[in-house]
């Protein structure tokens, strides 16, 4: 039976209290919001904090304020369901609404928060196992062991970034506000992540992700495509977020393409995005951009399905996402009869 390890649960009412409590708890402390990822992990002993600081009781952290014209601030504790259904998010930041709405299942989206999904632990099929299972094969370096079981000679951990929200947030140019004992800082969403399956966040453990700041949405269009096997539940096999700002005549003035679930951090396809700058989207250009975007994707054998498949799908999905934003007709036989 899966059971949580013992810990002390603190429920601060203000951000200041929370900062104080997590600082005081030190390395024994962890932050929790919705708990939909942390609690299963704790039940499998991926984490054994002595103190949990729960953030859901801090009223201000759930707020969504602003407009697409001015920019939006989304409290880290806004639930994924709220983000997915919020009119301003849907209007100006569609990729984020789609990503939030594609996480897991309806009850888990009611519980899980935007901040929690952005900070989602990296995943690996040698790591997301019970304590007994991990013990039976010898632990991996991400928890309790000292080697990587996916790439045994590797000095680093290759667990996969599996957040849906992060690629969307990065593509939308979001910044995140972090508050800790030393004050607050604002970093770009892209800079929140490190290319390391173990230390995958640049956020210090005692820093609290307070809100996600989205720039004005004028001229931007965005989308998020999630690949998974079933119609719900599953973590992404691949996530692709694309945001484009076009000028007169459909010329692309700015573009961001971000891939999720292909590495330990969301992968920003800078070179691919560069190919569309100043261009009009054509089927041919899209094909080249998709090829370029998929190049940095280097999946390892630590998730569902084969490496070759996951690599190939990166190209397919970037292509489809771009076609969607370009308003190009859908490829393939309408209706599909054959």
Partner 1 sequence: MSVRTLPVTRGGIGESVPRVDAVPKAKGTFLFASDLWAEDMLWGFTVRSPHPHARIRSIDVSGALAHPGVRAVLLAGDVPGRKTYGLEFADQPVLAWDRVRYAGEPVAIGAAEDPETARRAGERIVVDYEVLPAVTDMAQALRADAPRVHDFGNVLRHVHIVHGDPDAPADVWVEGYYETAVQDQAPLGPEAGLAIPAPDGGVDLYVATQWLHVDRQQIAPCLGLPAHKVRLHLAGVGGAFGAREDLSMQIHASLLALRTGRPVKIAYGREESFLGHVHRHPARIWMRHGARRDGTLVCVRARILVDGGAYASSSAAVIGNASTFACGPYEVPNALVDGTAVYTHNPPCGAMRGFGAVQVCFAHEAQMDRLARALGRDPVELRLRNALRTSSVLPTGQVVRGSAPVAAVIRRCAALPLPPEAPPAGRGDPRAYPGGCGNVSRGERLRRGVGFAVGYKNIAYSEGFDDASAARVRLRADAAGPIAEVRSAAAEVGQGIHTILAQIARTELGVERVAILPPDTGVGSAGSTSASRQTMMSGGAVQAACAAVREALFARVRRSLARPRGELRLAGGLVLLDGEPVGPIAAFLDEPVEAERVYHHRPTRPLDARGQGEPHAAFAFAAERAVVEVDEELGLVRVVQIAAAQDVGRALHPQSVQGQIEGGTAQGLGLALMEELQLRDGRIRNASFTDYLIPTIADMPPVVSALVEEPEPGAPYGAKGVGEPATIVATAAIVAALRDATGRELNRVPVRPDDLAGLAPPVAPVAPPPPPPQGSGPEPVPWAHGLATGQHELLQEPAHEGAGEDPRPWERTRGGTGS
Partner 2 sequence: MRVRVRVNGAWRTAEVWPGASLLALLRDALGLCGSKNACEQGECGSCSVWLDGELVCACLVLAAQADGREVRTVEGLTTGEDLHPVQRAFVEAGAVQCGFCTPGFVVAVVDLLSRDPDPDEPRIREALSGNLCRCTGYQKILDAVRLAASKLGGSSP
* Binding-site ranges for partner 2 (CB under 8 A): 1-9, 11, 34-36, 39-40, 43, 54, 56, 79, 104-108, 110-111, 231-233
Cβ of residue 5: shortest distance to partner 2, in angstroms? 6
Contact 133, 143 (CB under 8 A): no
Place of tokens 């590495």: 263
The listed partner (partner 1, partner 2, none) that binds 56, CB under 5 to 8 Å by sort, is partner 2
Q: Is residue 9 close enough to count as binding partner 1 by CB under 8 A?
A: no
Q: Which does 324 bind (CB under 5 to 8 A by kind): partner 1, partner 2, none?
A: partner 1
Please say which residue, 11 or 187, places its beta carbon nearer to partner 2: 11
Cα–Cα distances in angstroms (integers) from residue 295 to residues 84, 94, 270, in the given order? 30, 26, 11
Among 28, 107, 181, 233, binds partner 1 (CB under 8 A): 233
From the list 152, 230, 248, 249, which residue makes contact with partner 1 (rule: CB under 8 A)?
Answer: 230
224 contacts partner 1 (rule: CB under 8 A): yes
DSSP assignment string, 204-245: -TT-EEEEEEEPP-TTEEEEEEEE-SSSSSPPPSEEEEEEEE
Binder of partner 1 out of 51, 187, 285, 305 (CB under 8 A)? 305
> Could you give the CA distance from residue 108 to residue 152 in angstroms, rounded to a whole number?
34
Q: Say which entry of partner 1, partner 2, none residue 127 contacts (CB below 5 to 8 A, set by partner kind).
A: none
CA distance linking residue 172 with residue 3, whole number of Å: 39
Q: Which of 9, 152, 153, 337 binds partner 1 (CB under 8 A)?
A: 337
Contact between 309 and partner 1 per CB under 8 A: yes
Contact 214, 174 (CB under 8 A): yes
Local structure of 193: helix, strand or coil: strand
Interstrand relation of 8-10 and 51-54 (parallel, antiparallel or unpaired):
parallel
Q: Are strands 267-268 and 175-180 parallel, antiparallel or unpaired?
A: unpaired
Let me know: does 38 contact 70? Beta carbons within 8 Å: no
183 contacts which partner out of partner 1, partner 2, none, CB within 5 to 8 A by kind? Answer: none
Instruction: Select the binding partner of residue 135 from partner 2, partner 1, none (C-beta < 5 to 8 A, by kind).
Output: partner 1
Whichever of 18 and 255 has its CB closer to partner 2, that residue is 18
Token pair 């190009």 is found at 328
Task: Choose from partner 2, partner 1, none: what does 305 bind? Cβ within 5-8 Å by kind.
Answer: partner 1
3 binds partner 1 (CB under 8 A): yes
CB of 23 to partner 2, least distance (A): 21
Check binding of 329 to partner 1 (CB under 8 A).
yes
- Where do we find the tokens 């970093």? 187
Sign of the Cα pseudo-torsion (278, 282, 288, 289, in order): positive
Q: Using CB under 8 A, which of 77, 84, 102, 201 touches partner 1?
A: 102
Picking from 77, 70, 266, the residue whose alpha carbon sits closest to that of residue 162 is 266
Measure the CA dihedral 246/249/250/256, to 10°: -30
Residues that bind partner 1 (CB under 8 A): 1-3, 40, 98, 101-102, 125, 128-130, 132-133, 135-137, 223-235, 304-306, 308-309, 312-313, 316, 320, 324, 329-338
């Amino acid at each position: 039976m899966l059971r949580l390890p013992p810990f002390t649960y603190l429920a601060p009412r203000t951000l200041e209290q929370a900062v104080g409590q997590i600082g005081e708890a030190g390395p024994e402390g962890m932050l929790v919001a919705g708990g939909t990822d942390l609690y299963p992990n704790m039940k499998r002993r991926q984490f054994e904090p002595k103190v949990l600081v729960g953030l859901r009781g801090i009223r201000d952290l759930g707020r969504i304020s602003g407009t697409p014209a001015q920019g939006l601030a989304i409290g880290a504790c806004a639930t994924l369901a709220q983000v997915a259904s919020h009119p301003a998010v849907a209007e100006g930041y569609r990729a984020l609404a789609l990503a939030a709405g594609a996480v897991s299942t309806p009850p888990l989206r009611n519980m899980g928060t935007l901040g929690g999904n952005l900070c989602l632990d990296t995943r690996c099929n040698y790591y997301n196992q019970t304590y007994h299972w991990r013990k039976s094969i010898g632990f991996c370096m991400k928890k309790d062991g000292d080697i990587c079981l996916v790439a045994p000679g590797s000095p680093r951990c290759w667990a996969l970034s599996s957040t849906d929200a992060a690629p969307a947030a990065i593509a939308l140019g979001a910044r995140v506000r972090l508050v800790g004992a030393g004050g607050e800082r604002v970093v770009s969403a892209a800079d929140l992540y490190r290319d390391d399956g173990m230390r995958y966040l640049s956020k210090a453990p005692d820093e609290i992700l307070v809100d996600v700041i989205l720039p004005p949405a004028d001229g931007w269009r965005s989308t998020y495509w999630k690949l998974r096997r079933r119609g719900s539940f599953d973590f992404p096999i691949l996530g692709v977020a694309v945001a484009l700002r076009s000028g007169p005549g459909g010329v692309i003035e700015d573009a961001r393409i971000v891939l999720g679930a292909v590495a330990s951090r969301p992968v920003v396809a800078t070179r691919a995005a560069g190919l569309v700058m100043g261009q009009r989207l054509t089927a041919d250009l899209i094909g080249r951009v998709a090829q370029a975007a998929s190049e940095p994707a280097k999946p390892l054998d630590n998730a569902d399905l084969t490496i070759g498949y996951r690599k190939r799908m990166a190209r397919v999905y970037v292509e489809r996402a771009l076609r969607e934003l370009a308003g190009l007709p859908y490829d393939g036989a309408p209706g599909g009869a054959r």
